[in-house]
Amino acid sequence: MLGLTVPGLLGLAVSFLLPLLWLFRMSLNRGDSSGLIVEAISLDSYGQFLGDPYYWKMAWETTQLGVGVTVMTVLVSYPIALFLVRTESRFKGVLVALAIAPLLTSSVVRTYGWLVLLGNQGVVNSSLHSWGLIDEPLALINNKLGVYIALVEIMMPYMILALLAGFGRFNPELEHAAASLGANRWRTFWRVVWPLSMPGVLTGALLVFVLTISSFITPRLVGGGKVFYLATEIYDQATATLNWPFAAAISFILLGLFATVIVLYQRAIRRIEAQ
Amino acid sequence: MTHKFKGWPNRLVVAVLYLFLLAPILVVAVISFDTQSTMAFPPQGFSLQWYERLAQNEEFITGFKVSGIVGGGVALLALALGVPVAVALTRYEFRFRELLSGFFLSPLMVPGIVLGLALLLVLAPVGITGTYGGLIVAHLAITVPYVIRTASMSLMTMNRSCEEAARTLGASAWTTFRRVTLPLIAPGVLAGGVIAFLISFDEAVISLFVVGPQATTLPVEIFHYVETRTDPQIAALSVVLIAISIVFVVIIERAAGLRKVLR
Amino acid sequence: MAMSFLRLEHIVKTYPGTDRPSVADFTLDVERGEFISLLGPSGCGKTTTLRMIAGLIEPTAGHICLDGKELTRTPVHQRGMGLVFQNYALFPHLDVAQNVAFGLEMRRVPKADVKRRVAEALELVQLGHLSGRRIKQLSGGQQQRVALARALVVEPSVLLLDEPLSNLDAKLRDTMRDEIRSIQQKLGITTVFVTHDQDEALATSDRIVVMSEGNIEQVGTPEQIYEHPSNQFVANFIGRVNLFDAEVRHTANGVAAVDVAGLGQMQAADDLGRPGQVTVLVRPHRLRINEAGRDDAHGTVESVVYVGDSIEYSVRVGTKAVAVQSVAGRHGRLERGTPVRLSWETSDALVLK
């Protein structure tokens, strides 16, 4: 019955496989900053990236962004997810919907919201100013700080969803049992709740990491073109510098970063399952 | 015993985190009714002027139409391609089934910026960038996986003996699918279609590479607008889009359960 | 011998990835109009066999013939058999009449005929008044009747029933069982009935096929299966039994003199006709129990349960607990601890391998 998959395979070949193969072929060409593309089979573009400390730093900062945003997203999402699992409020359905509804709002729109919040005359700065806490506006956009803040918020619904799914096995009775055995709150949390939520945390962390290091809109708009990550660099090389071979090479380096993280993730999962 | 969150300090933490999560949407909603034209806070007064301007913004209106048409096309095509794959993956045992299933989900693992550039390289020489067809093809790879997932879920949870009953009653495989399977998985299929539409409608990064002067989608128009200007017209537009999302959320929730399909 | 109506010839089904066949070398002849049960514990291969007859599963080896025609490779939708599923498998998006009409539509029966035949089929299962109902609005018993009507309306060559009563409550189960049997006799339709419930099989069937682990243990009428089980598995599966270790001293003309552990010299019906170590089967209600003196007792009464029509004793004989069921009120009740002797009519005990 493989016949049923033929239309899907064809669709995916045209819209996915073929373009990626083309992109790989492009990464082997030679390009320069004048937009000229020389047909070749060479690793020059990869060499250009790997031979330049500037790009090493960019790759490192992209990884940092991924890890940093992931960790912070876990920290701010976990209390909400735990609350949603435990609550017996009759508004539980609404609260769950509120927590994941931002997913269905375009990230362009939410990024715009952060520009309004963090801008020099934005909500945060004007509030602080009117309370007399600052004289000069804090620099919250056009820098890394703003990108981190906005990305954490944008990733939260994904993390909450993953945590809620992971908590599926979680039964509040377990907490009661642990407490009745004399465990205090923190011990109950670290010995019972946290280990049980681990699969959800890991699923969410992988998803958030992957989405973060491939995000473009938010770093671009909140970073105001002054913050550089691999994704924004691909765009710049492809549209401004018109060095397509180089943009293609960075793309595959980004994919390589992806693959590395996924392999590490699977090892971590295996180790946790072995315990 | 839910002591940790019974106390008010914990509730406060959760409330503050909720505020953080919803802040950008709330602030957008507030300033969309503002009278001043910069991105400043607090609001100076109440007006609907940005909504009025929005109604006259040809670029946004055209973008909205393009996104709607592309989204509809993507939804239909993704269903046509994805549902048969879901049937094959859930109803038949064959070699490479796992591999195939992995392949169909793999586009979700490729950054939009990479896929966008890759699509540009293929679509530009054929001359279909900036056309409806080009945009629909570009959004296919990232929507088909969701259709496969929602349809597979419905197929796995439906009562399979209904299909067998139809077969013993004389229905061919195709008739069984048309008369029994399809009606029973319709909610999942509908949810898959709506999700495909929403993803396509919101997609900005891939589209950035594939749009052209003849056809530019709304998210790309918004992106370019925000890059250069920041007046509350975007806020008004955002509120309209959020309202539309809410309608869709309700549809999906009714049809299949939001949490299940997003998982 | 005349050609049977439905013939299964050396059917084997081995699922990929398993070494033991789910059905091993299954051969059976079913006569036209016969009601035959496949009886056995779960996992014995009965449902697999039924699904192979229906065409939902392809046998690994063997042949299935219907009315002299080979059917083994005929696709399921061209076999013209009626299958009733354990979970009913009604189409939830269609109403009662549409469910029943489905098979007729597949056969392109003219509209007017469809209407008439659906009405007749629903009358047959006494649901004529519910034809416009949604499936969800029906009780379990009603759903089962609809499923039966849907299978029968196409006038199938064979009616296949896959544990059709197991989802019904006990009382309804007996009613439906009798109803299925009476409809089957009225229509004279060849029927294969899969069940794990011996009472259902005994009450409905012309013949019973007892299965275990993919093999046929015994084929016979309910009486044969009950009175003359061919081995311990069948004996244990059908009704309650006592099995005694024994040794045949002498055997002739179908009667053996046996030395039964704990009971001494007894007699039993013997189809095997050879000496050696055997098992003797006696049903609890065929055992006689009498108070005895300390010296000549076989054992003592260990428990007494009064169940209305009868009294059930458990008697300790050596290390063995023997179940005895005796008609209440005939001899009064024996107390716990009473020393007793057990005995039986020769024809009520059977020598097994």
What is the pLDDT, as a whole number, of residue C3? Answer: 67
Cβ-proximal residues to A269 (8 Å cutoff; 6+ apart), any chain: A202
Give the closest-approach CA distance of A264 to chain B in angstroms. 15
B100 to chain A: which residues are within 8 Å by CB? 5
Picking from B171, B217, B180, B185, the residue whose alpha carbon sits closest to that of residue B79 is B185
- On the question of pLDDT at A199 being above 70, the answer is yes
Q: What predicted TM-score, i.e. pTM, was given to this entire model?
A: 0.82
Same domain, C136 and C186: yes
Interchain contact, A121 vs B226, CB within 8 Å: no
Q: Which of C178, C207, C234 is the last residue of a domain?
A: C234
* B27 part of contact set with chain A, CB < 8 Å: yes
For residue B47, the model assigns a pLDDT of 86
Q: Which residues of B touch C16 (CB under 8 A)?
A: 93
For every residue of C237-268, DSSP letters joined together read HSS--EEEEEEEEEEETTEEEEEETTTEEEEE
Predicted confidence band at C92 (pLDDT cuts at 50, 70, 90)? very high
Least confident of A269-273, B76-80, C168-172: A269-273
**Confidence band for B6, pLDDT divided at 50, 70 and 90:** low
End residue of a domain, out of C202, C234, C266: C234
Give percent of chain C with pLDDT exceeding 70.
98
Query: A27 with A46: CB under 8 angstroms?
Result: yes
Name the domain boundary from C234, C261, C295. Answer: C234
Let me know if residue C1 belongs to a domain. Answer: no
Parent domain of C264 = 240-352
CB C51 within 8 A of CB C8: no
**Which of A20, A110, A112 is closest, CB to CB, to B118?**
A20
Q: Is the pLDDT of residue C97 over 60?
A: yes
8 Å CB contact between C140 and C76: no
- Token duo for residue B115: 């896929």
ipTM: 0.89
Locate the chain B residue with the closest alpha carbon to C151. Answer: B169
Task: Give the closest of A79, A86, A98 to B22, CB-based.
Answer: A98
Q: How confident is the model at residue B1 (pLDDT cuts 50, 70, 90)?
A: very low
Which of C79, C93, C106 lies at the smallest CB-CB distance from B183? Answer: C93
Tell me which residue in C56, C87, C102 faces B159 most closely, judged by beta carbons: C87
- 10 Å CB burial of residue C263 (0-12, 13-18, 19+) is buried
> C296 or B196, which is more confident?
B196
Dist. CA C160–CA C157, nearest whole Å:
10
- For an interface test with B, the pick among C58, C102, C153, C158 (most B C-beta atoms closer than 10 Å) comes out as C102
What residues in B contact A89, CB-CB < 8 Å? none
DSSP C194: E
Q: What is the DSSP letter of C335?
A: P
B–C interface: beta-carbon pairs under 8 A = 66
Mutant choice from B110, B114, B195, B241 vs A, greatest count of A C-beta within 10 A = B114
Chains that touch C (3 or more CB pairs under 8 A): B
Q: How many CA atoms lie within 13 A of A45 on its CB side?
A: 30
Contact across the interface for A26 and B141, Cβ inside 8 Å: no
CA pair distance A193, B192, nearest whole angstrom: 34
- What is the band of C309 on the pLDDT scale with cuts at 50, 70, 90? confident
Q: Report percent pLDDT > 70 for chain A.
A: 97
pLDDT of B259: 52
Instruction: Mark whether C249 and C163 lie in a shared domain.
Output: no
C275: in domain: yes
pLDDT, one tens digit per residue, over C158-205 is: 999 999 998 888 888 999 999 999 999 999 999 999 999 999 999 999
Could B18 and A185 be called an inter-chain contact, meaning their C-beta atoms sit closer than 8 Å?
A: no
| Pairing mode, strands C35-39 and C207-212 | parallel
Residues in chain B within 8 Å Cβ distance of C89: 159, 161-162, 164-165
- How confident is the prediction for chain A on average, in pLDDT? 88
DSSP letter, residue A15: I
pLDDT category, A87, cuts 50, 70, 90? confident
Q: Tell me whether residue C227 is in a domain.
A: yes
Query: Both C89 and C183 in a single domain?
Result: yes
For range C136-149, the mean pLDDT: 92
Q: Stretch C129-145: mean pLDDT, rounded?
A: 92
* Same-domain pairing of C299 and C327: yes
> Residue B24 corresponds to which tokens in the numbers above?
């950008």
Q: Are residues C154 and C211 in the same domain?
A: yes
Q: Are C108 and C193 found together in one domain?
A: yes
| pLDDT one-digit tens code per residue, B80-129 | 999 999 999 998 888 888 899 999 989 988 999 999 999 999 998 998 88
Task: Output the pLDDT for position A3.
Answer: 84
- Return the pLDDT at B263: 43
Domain CATH for C290: 2.40.50.140
Locate tokens 């300090």: which residue? B9
> What average pLDDT does the segment B176-202 reach?
91
Please work out, in degrees rounded to the nearest 5, the angle formed at the alpha carbon of residue C264 by the alpha carbons of C262 and C268: 110
Instruction: Confirm or reject contact between B113 and chain A (CB < 8 A).
Output: yes
Rounded CA-CA distance C48/C32 in Å is: 22
In this complex, whether A and B touch, counting 3 or more CB pairs under 8 angstroms, is yes
Claim to verify: residue C34 and residue C110 sit in the same structural domain: yes
Q: Domain check: are C126 and C245 in the same one?
A: no
Within a domain: residue C287? yes
Pairing of strands C349-352, C276-282: antiparallel
Q: Which of A155, A165, A157 is nearest to A196 (CA)?
A: A165
pLDDT at C256 over 70: yes
Tell me which residue in B137, B208, B258 faces A15 most closely, judged by beta carbons: B137
Which of A162-176, B27-41, B193-207 shows the lowest mean pLDDT across its residues? A162-176
pLDDT (tens digit per residue) in A214-231? 899 999 999 988 899 999
The structural domain count of chain C equals: 2
Output the pLDDT for position A92.
82
pLDDT band at residue A33, thresholds of 50, 70 and 90? low
User: Average of pLDDT values for C97-116?
Assistant: 95
Q: What is the pLDDT of residue C330?
A: 63
Strand, coil or helix: B220: helix
Q: Do A4 and B87 touch (CB under 8 A)?
A: yes
**All chains having 3 or more CB pairs closer than 8 angstroms to chain A:** B
Same domain, C63 and C170: yes
In a domain, C44, yes or no: yes
Of A8-17, A183-192, A244-253, C9-18, give the lowest mean pLDDT range. A183-192
Judged by CB atoms closer than 8 Å, whether chains meet at B168 and C54 is answered as yes
Neighbours of C155 (CB within 10 A): 14
Q: What is the mean pLDDT of residues A193-218?
A: 89
Decide if pLDDT at A168 tops 70. no
C297 and C227 co-located in one domain: no
Q: Count of CB contacts below 8 A, A vs B? A: 267
The pLDDT-based confidence of B260 (bands split at 50, 70, 90) is: low
CATH number, position C215: 3.40.50.300
Measured over the CA atoms of residue B139, residue B144, residue B145 and residue B151, the dihedral's sign is positive
Q: Does residue B4 register a pLDDT over 50?
A: no
**H or E element at residue A196:** helix A194-213
What's residue A19's pLDDT? 95
CA A188 to chain centre: 30
- On whether both C214 and C250 belong to a single domain, the answer is no
Integer Cα distance of B181 and B175 in angstroms: 9
Q: Is the link from the previous residue into C21 a cis peptide, with omega within 30 of 0?
A: no
On whether residue C24 sits in a domain, the answer given is yes
Q: Note the pLDDT of residue A200.
A: 86
Indicate the residue type of C82.
G
Q: Are residues C12 and C144 in the same domain?
A: yes
Classify each residue of A46-76 as buried b or exposed e, where b means 16 or more C-beta atoms within 10 Å of its C-beta: bebbeeeeebeebbebbbebbebbbebbbeb
Q: Are strands C35-39 and C61-66 parallel, antiparallel or unpaired?
A: unpaired
